[in-house]
Structure 1
Amino acid sequence: MTDTADVSRREAWLIAARPHTLPVAAAPILVAVGLAVRDGVFAPVPAFAAFVGAALIQVGTNFANDYYDAVQGADTEEREGFTRVTAGGLIEPYEVKRATYLTFGAAILVGTYLVVVGGVPILVVGLLSVASGIAYTGGPYPLGYHGLGDLFVFVFFGVVAVTGAYYVQAVTVLASGIPVWPPKGSITTASLVASLPIAAIATNILVVNNVRDREEDATTGKRTLAVRFGYTFSRVQYVALFVLAYAVPLWFYVRTSDLAVLLPFLSVPLAVSLSRTLFTRTDGEALNPALSRNGQLLALYAVLFGVGLAV
């Protein structure tokens, strides 16, 4: 953990927001925009609003994670991860909790516009996303403490994020009024399949985090999949998710015979390098940089895939 003696208040809030996690919010939008361009339903304003909403949910989840892990005793002095502002005493717990709800409130405000565009489906998805962001480490049954964090990330920061961002663009073009049910063509098989690589690589960020924190999590009662099933399971999971991510461009290629959709394969060397690190190391010295590089891989993959789909 970082020495907190000379950390300013502004720096502390940046630490709490964890801007290095924002590729998780941006990646789904990049892929959804690429697919929307391909399908002739690109709409820039809903796409941008979807990104802002996703980014706010990501930051709100980060604040909630920082706060609830501290008050529930999951962050200890033995932690090898990045600095936590609540546990480290940099920001008062009530301030972090307040920031959590203010950020989610801002996401709901942005979501109001998206509800006008996308109707009832977006209202339901938005409320579930906010509730799950809080429930990840808070509430009576914290998802991250019961081995459900991986599923949460896969579904909400992958499948829901990509298909939702595609939907709000497509519905702008295909429908009039406020939809009660998704109009035909607004949620496609291609958008669902295209969401899987983003879901997989975003989940792998959590896998790296959980491998690094396995020993501490085991002592504090945080029953992640790494704690429940061990290092070998997490390493197999990590590689399997990468296999899923790189199988999807092949699915698109078989359907379209368009070589451009194979652009994500340019990122394979980074995925291989990250896998080697996870297979040989469990310490923060190696896995903290790997977390950042996994976020870079997610961003790179999303750019390559989005461009490949668009062209």
Structure 2
Amino acid sequence: MRTNSLSAWILAVRPYSLGNSVILVLVASAMAWTDGGFRPGPAALCLAFALLMQCTANLVNDLWDFLKGADRPDRLGPDRAFAKGYITLPAMKAGIAGFTLAACAAGAGILCLTHGRLPYGGWELVAVGLACVVFAYFYTAGPWPLAYHGLGDAAVVLFFGLIPVGFTYYVQTGQWTAEVTLVALACGLVIDTMLMLNNFRDREEDARCGKRTIVVLTCAAVGRWGYLLLGLVPAALCLTLLAAGRTWAALLPLLYAAAHTATWRKMVRIDHGEELNVCLGETARNILLFGASLTIGILLG
């Protein structure tokens, strides 16, 4: 692969994970549609912001995991562009800056479209946007990276669940409801299955380099059972939507629960090593299944 080529950058932004951002905006926008507040302009900009911020976080993670010694030549997970030498340090720094600025431009667009229409004039979104930028950098970078101190899972639930779903709905409707909070939490927990599986697979190398994930701080069993629960609890949360009359939104995610359980069985059987990457691919597929089934269910009522 040529250094700093388009193929190298595609590898670096991890396209297999970008569906996570897409489903968050789709779910929130479906909720806004059924509540009579869908606005295509803000929804599109929320999608752009989410995708650009995830690319930023992936690049920062690619760089700093290598600098901190977490990405070694014997890495079990998919190839990382910077660790493989496919992207140079100056290019990686420029790429991180570029994606960050592009995300900020999308955020400014959201602010312009919502200014004066939201309860606090839209300026509350500035604090949220800044928090997202801080998370993208300090998840793996800085003197006290969250992922290295057992806070990675909490950060994912917050920044890949509650914040993107809640605020995508908020910028369209000007409201934040209990139903949206429940759905946002379910999405965050589902997306955290990918991190839990990664940490379960990498538990030995993470322990060697001082990356103290929840699995490292506790034991492998927490990774196994934590992965299962992170998928089943969201399906249970969706079932509570029956009380709000959203029958399909409550029942369709059960398809995800079945697929997730099948992947968990395979994960337990494999237990360790590079073969767990098969489960990683299935987990990405299952997350998309959850997002699609929940979105369709919300629209069906």
Coarse TM-score class (shorter-chain normalised) = over 0.9
Residue in structure 2 matching 1:264, options 250, 253, 257: 253
Equivalent in the alignment of 1:158: 161
Equivalent in the alignment of 1:301: 290
TM-score (norm 1): 0.90
Equivalent in the alignment of 1:96: 92
Equivalent in the alignment of 1:86: 82
Shift of 1:206: 0.2
1:292 and 2:281 matched: yes
Relative contact order (C-alpha < 8 Å, sep 6+): which is higher? 1
Residue in structure 2 matching 1:249, options 238, 241, 247: 238
Alignment of 1:13-32 (within 5 A): 13-32=9-28
Residue in structure 2 matching 1:223, options 212, 215, 220: 212
Deviates more, 1:233-242 or 1:201-210: 233-242
| Contact preservation (8 Å) 1:34, 1:305 | no
Alignment of 1:113-192 (within 5 A): 113-116=109-112, 117=114, 119-171=122-174, 186-192=175-181
Distance 1:43 1:261 in 2: 24
| Contact preservation (8 Å) 1:34, 1:308 | no
Shift of 1:262: 1.2
Gaps of 5+ in 1: 172-185
* CA displacement, residues 147-176 of structure 1 (integer Å, 9 cap, x when unaligned): 1111111100111111011111113xxxxx
Gaps of 5+ in 2: none
* CA displacement, residues 118-154 of structure 1 (integer Å, 9 cap, x when unaligned): 5122111111011111001101111111111111111
Shift of 1:257: 6.0
Shift of 1:278: 2.3
Distance 1:7 1:139 in 2: 26
Q: What's the % identity of the aligned pairs?
A: 33
Equivalent in the alignment of 2:38: 42
Equivalent in the alignment of 1:196: 185
Shift of 1:252: 0.3
Shift of 1:308: 1.0
Shift of 1:258: 2.6
Distance 1:309 1:303 in 2: 10
Shift of 1:48: 1.1
- AA aligned opposite 1:140: P
| Contact preservation (8 Å) 1:64, 1:138 | yes
Shift of 1:17: 0.7
Name the CA shift for 1:165/1:124 in 2 (closer, same or farther; >3 Å): same
* CA displacement, residues 227-249 of structure 1 (integer Å, 9 cap, x when unaligned): 11111011121122122211122
Shift of 1:260: 4.9
- AA aligned opposite 1:192: T
Equivalent in the alignment of 1:33: 29
Distance 2:272 2:89 in 1: 28
Shift of 1:114: 1.3
- Partner of 2:72, secondary structure, is coil
| Contact preservation (8 Å) 1:35, 1:191 | yes
Distance 2:235 2:76 in 1: 31
| Contact preservation (8 Å) 2:248, 2:298 | no
* CA displacement, residues 168-188 of structure 1 (integer Å, 9 cap, x when unaligned): 1113xxxxxxxxxxxxxx111
Distance 1:291 1:285 in 2: 10
Deviates more, 1:63-72 or 1:117-126: 117-126
Pairs aligned (count) = 293
